[in-house]
Chain A
Amino acid sequence: MYVAVKGGERAIDNAHAWLAEERRGDPSVPELSVAQIREQMKLAVNRVMAEGSLYDPDLAALAIKQARGDLIEAVFLIRAYRTTLPRLASSRPVDTAAMAVDRRISATFKDLPGGQVLGPTFDYTHRLLDFTLMAEGEPPAAAALPLVAAVSPQRDGGDCDPASRVPHVTGFLNRDGLIEDAAPEDSPPPDLTREPLELPAGRPLRLQAITRGDEGFILSLAYSTQRGYGRTHAFVGELRIGHVGVEVEIPELGFAVEIGDVELTECETVNQFKGSKTEPAQFTRGYGLVFGQSERKSIAMSLVDRSLRWRELGEDDTGAPAQDEEFVLYHCDNIQATGFLEHIKLPHYVDFQSELELVRKLRAEARAMKEAAE
């Protein structure tokens, strides 16, 4: 148990002053601005927004600067800040079919209606260090294609007009009944930022926990399912990245207005079947939706989501960690985890003193018994 301590103010002040100096680094090197971090460390900013559970690129960039690039510390700063904000409203559910897509790929259909768009991806790069980035210089301009030329032939009936809708791949499969449905419904979702997380959790609560969960933890769990611990044999049916509008009902006016937009990564996996003597076999689904361009997290999220659905889909509990709702949901939050982990470095003198006394007493008793026996 941690017991409050007194004293040490001067040392603490000096430690924090030194921290500020170390944060700045060598003063002969130009200082990073928050805008530079926001624009040039965008994927770090995205991760801090996703796990901090607050979409605000400027604040996430500031948190990264303040935390000296320690992303979990930055997430901590954002989580602390968000508790100071009054909750003004809840948005209408975002419509990801209306996303202005920067990237949209499918590992299951090469000719998906609407076409595949690679977007600004690391895929197909050689992962060789690019030493030109160490030299000053402008990157080559990205190619642009006029939208008319981008419109696909009639056969797929899709186009890249940003105003048009980009249908989900699962929608096409669903038309033939080959995949389970995700029927629209409007029950108000639970909110783990308002009520303690209780088990068993429904899928909406699980998805809320996982989307703000630690990327590394969710990634490893997802990987464990691929290696056989709660296998679900997932294909990436579709992965899309882009901006969607956020609509909020304005209470003063009684109608909804699109007040801004957020960048999201959405992943839908197509997984192995369920079926029975009475129902024909059908693919099942896993779902990932994460703030920002967060591809790895979103794929991992859909795998973990799918593994947690074993009971609902009548599968066996193999005892795999990724199937254990309590294990996943109670350990995926890196702020809870690091808070409890790191607190053990703080003064525990009284606590430890009692243990010390106990050990001494046990040793003395053992010695006394040994002497009595001799």
Chain B
Amino acid sequence: MTKAAFEGRRGWMSLLAKAPPARLAALLPDLPAHEMLRSPETGAVMVQGRVGGTGAPFHLGEMTVTRCSLRLGCGAVGHAWVQGRDKAHARRAAAADALMQTDRAEEMQARVLDVLAAEATAARGARATRAAATRVEFFTMVRGEDQ
């Protein structure tokens, strides 16, 4: 896999995983015919932090994750790891990952991925603007003993 293709797949797998499941289902209502290589399975991923933000890793706690692998009729294999316990989401994300490796990639990009990316950016932006409105400037009062 070339570096660009590798980065591309990393990007779309992440976008599909982080998409609100209902939104992904609305954008991609019909799944192509496929066979399951690994039926959706829910488990846990241990999340790690770092001591002091930058130091040695430590275990922070687990999060629920669902994974799924499938193969389309044309042979393309799709994988998905998504946060949470939504099996339909994992299956749909795996199907979308497989479709991105077929000649439907361009259509998928325009009809699903670009939409999801724009919506994710808008959601992040909306939150950031609320945070920005609470940005504060503190002033230190001069106390009597300084005079």
Name A residues whose Cβ lies closer than 8 Å to a Cβ of B.
49-50, 53-56, 58-59, 82, 85-94, 96-97, 100-103, 110, 115-121, 142-147, 149-150, 160-162, 168, 170-171, 182-193, 203-205, 207-208, 211-212, 245-246, 248, 250, 252-253, 255-262, 264, 266, 268, 285, 287, 289, 291
Q: Given the complex of chains A and B, what is the CA–CA distance between A144 and B51 in angstroms? A: 34
Give the dominant DSSP class at A's interface. mixed
- In the complex formed, the residue of B with least CB distance to A56 is B64
Cβ–Cβ contact B138 & A110, under 8 A: yes
Cβ–Cβ contact B53 & A268, under 8 A: yes
Give the total of B residues in contact with A, Cβ under 8 Å: 57
Known: A91-B48, A102-B131, A162-B125. A53 touches B81 (CB 8 A): no
**What are 7 pairs between A and B in contact, CB < 8 Å?**
A85-B42, A88-B43, A102-B130, A146-B132, A207-B58, A259-B13, A260-B63
Contact partner of B14 (CB less than 8 A), chosen from A207, A252, A258, is A258
Cβ–Cβ contact B136 & A117, under 8 A: yes
Q: Given the complex of chains A and B, what is the CA–CA distance between A119 and B50 in angstroms? A: 24
Task: List which B1-38 residues lie within 8 A (CB) of chain A.
Answer: 6, 9-10, 13-14, 17-18
Give the Cβ gap from A346 to chain B, nearest Cβ, in Å: 30
Cβ–Cβ contact A94 & B60, under 8 A: yes
Q: Given the complex of chains A and B, what is the CA–CA distance between A361 and B85 in angstroms? A: 60
Name B residues whose Cβ lies closer than 8 Å to a Cβ of A.
6, 9-10, 13-14, 17-18, 41-65, 67, 69, 79, 81-85, 124-140
6 additional A-B pairs beyond A182-B52, A266-B53, beta carbons within 8 Å, are A85-B64, A94-B49, A102-B130, A144-B130, A182-B54, A260-B83
Known: A149-B132, A184-B54. A189 touches B48 (CB 8 A): yes
Cβ–Cβ contact A185 & B55, under 8 A: yes
Cβ–Cβ contact B63 & A262, under 8 A: yes
